[in-house]
Amino acid sequence: MKESYKGLLWAGIILLCLLFLFFSAALFSPHDASMGEYGTYPYGIGMTAGYSDGDSIWAHAFGGDSVERAYSVLETYDGNYLVAGSIQSGITYPYAILVSADGDCLDGIQLNREGYCQGVVETSDGYVLSGTYGKITPAPGYQFFAAKIDRNLDSVWFKTYGGDTTEYNYGIVNAYATPDSGITSTGFVLFGSTRSFGTGIPTKNNMWMLFIDNDGDSVRQRVIPYTGNYNEYSKVAKPICRNEPSSGYVCVFAYSPTTNRQARCLATTVYGDSLWGRDFGKLASSYVEGFYSVVQSRDGGFAMAGMCEAPAGQPYSRAIYFGRVSPSGDSILTTYYEGDGSNKDVASIVETPDNNFIIGGWIDSERPWIDADFFLLKVDSTGDSLWMHVWGSTLANQEEFAYDNIITSRGDYVIVGITRGYGANPGTENIWVLKVKGED
């Protein structure tokens, strides 16, 4: 009889151990930061929240003990997502992971050069990453880099570009052959700022455009002097390009601020020759405005998104800023989404199939005692807000910062950035990828 009780006791102990192991794996898996308790958090900031689209599909954190950040995302030819950023454990290295459409991590690559990725484009046989390359010798500073990886995420080449001071890269776009403009081969255009070339160096920034060929060799460059006050807000936004048969390759990008602390949108040829430029804003020195992302709309014009920082005494500190221009740069509209005093920072803007726009970024203090969260704001072509949704950890001091968002071939939205609330070690920065349902 005693032996029978002993057998049951041991069976119970073994069952409890198995249950503990099962639930521990479920709770502490570093790749399972799915929606959990926080779910979709629709939250209006003086706007109409809706549920026709914008519901979360999945969210996953990727990382471990190292600090891992995502700054750019690209949908690949086979429907996966290449997420580019950095990994840091003492030294910061460029880093990219391949995530499936279902949110599983398929592969990754760390480039053993100091720096971080800021942009990524796809080629016929792989991908090219761009970013800022760590310290250079002998002068302290940074440079552009471009790195080719194949479809297996194996390194092909890594090259750096710059002078003796400081260059910051903000993006990369594909360039196509346009013989009429003198571009006879395909390649890439890198955009950013420089304190090595142009006027006012080394204390002032200038805009820098660098054309490289498919092997990463520099073909030509163009320096465009800033007309602004060169403060900490001066930076080049994520650029876009289009191929104009009549005038060669045209680059359109935005930056902030001008002398009047306004936002500017600028179109140039591939040589950097200005086609048109427009300033936008309140024309008040107490405001600081800037466009951080631009997209070409289906009507041939452009839509820009950024922020407006207001002076003390205003009901908000940093508002979302949205503007549209015609193909020739004439202003169509500018509008602000102010909210209730929370800080907002824009990462990217995309156009939806129904000719609306999705603006993504992070928002601070929108919920009591909660820090920064991801947000998506949907607006129509007239600037009217349709809905705004917010996602993030419900714990204090565990923020989520979004740095890029895209619309997929299926019409869904993918947002990437960092999380301190999810992942292997809450409180440590890990990559966070959120997939959101688009329109049916």
Is the pLDDT confidence value at 301 over 80?
A: yes
Least confident range from 48-52, 130-134, 417-421: namely 48-52
Tell me how crowded residue 386 is: count the other CB atoms within 10 A of its CB: 19
Quote the pLDDT of residue 110.
96
Contact call for residues 324 and 297 (beta carbons, < 8 A) = yes
**pLDDT of the residue at 293:** 83
Whole-angstrom Cα distance, residue 396 to residue 402?
Answer: 18
Percent of the chain exceeding pLDDT 70 equals 68
Highest mean pLDDT among 81-95, 170-184, 250-264, 323-337: 81-95
Interatomic CA distance for residues 297 and 279, integer angstroms? 19
pLDDT of 43 higher than 50: no
Three-state secondary structure call for residue 17: helix
Report the DSSP beta bridge partners of residue 110: 95
Look at residue 251 in the predicted model and tell me its pLDDT: 64
Contacts 24+ apart (CB under 8 A), 304-310: 304/237, 304/254, 304/263, 304/265, 304/280, 304/349, 305/346, 305/348, 305/349, 305/357, 305/359, 306/237, 306/254, 306/256, 306/263, 306/346, 307/344, 307/345, 307/346, 308/281, 308/282, 308/336, 309/233, 310/286
Cα 309 to chain centroid, rounded:
20
| Per-residue pLDDT tens digits for 60-73 | 999 888 999 999 99
Average of per-residue pLDDT across 286-302: 79
Average pLDDT over residues 246-257: 56
pLDDT at 421 over 70: yes
- Indicate the residue type of 34: S
- What single-letter amino acid sits at 178? T
* pLDDT score for 118: 92
120: left (phi over 0), alpha (psi -120 to 50) or beta: beta
- Give the pLDDT band (50/70/90) at residue 180: low
- What six digits make up the tokens of 156? 């092909």
pLDDT above 50 (res 211): yes
Tally Cβ neighbours within 10 Å of residue 313: 6
Annotated domain spans of the chain: 40-436
On whether the CB atoms of residues 407 and 25 are closer than 8 A, the answer is: no
What is the distance between the alpha carbons of residues 198 and 368, in angstroms, rounded to a whole number? 47
CATH of domain 40-436: 2.130.10.10
Overall average pLDDT of the 253-263 stretch: 61
Q: Which strand (E) or helix (H) includes residue 410?
A: none
Q: How many CB atoms lie within 10 A of CB 98?
A: 20
Cis peptide before 202 (omega within 30 of 0): yes
The number of beta carbons lying within 10 Å of the beta carbon of residue 26 is 9
Residue at token pair 């440590």: 428
Mean pLDDT calculated for residue range 325-335? 87
Segment 140-157, tens digit of pLDDT: 578 999 999 999 999 999
pLDDT for residue 47: 30
pLDDT bracket for residue 428 (50, 70, 90): confident
Using pLDDT thresholds of 50, 70 and 90, give the confidence band for residue 5: low
Q: Does residue 227 register a pLDDT over 90?
A: no
pLDDT band, residue 381 (cuts 50/70/90) = very high
Contact 167, 142 (CB under 8 A): yes
Give the count of alpha carbons within 13 A of 63, CB side only: 31
Peptide bond into 42 cis (omega under 30): no
pLDDT of the residue at 325: 87
> What band does 358 get if pLDDT is binned at 50, 70 and 90?
very high
User: Is the peptide bond between 138 and the residue preceding it cis, with omega within 30 degrees of 0?
Assistant: yes
Mean pLDDT of the chain: 76
> 12-26, 197-211, 237-251: lowest mean pLDDT where?
12-26
Range from 115-124, 130-139, 230-239, 241-250 carrying the lowest mean pLDDT: 230-239
For the residues 232-246, what does the mean pLDDT come to?
Answer: 49
Q: Which of the pair, 391 or 230, is modelled with greater confidence?
A: 391
**Confidence category of residue 34, pLDDT binned at 50, 70, 90:** very low
| For residue 368, cis peptide bond before it (omega within 30 degrees of 0) | no
Q: Which of 15-24, 93-102, 294-303 has the lowest mean pLDDT?
A: 15-24
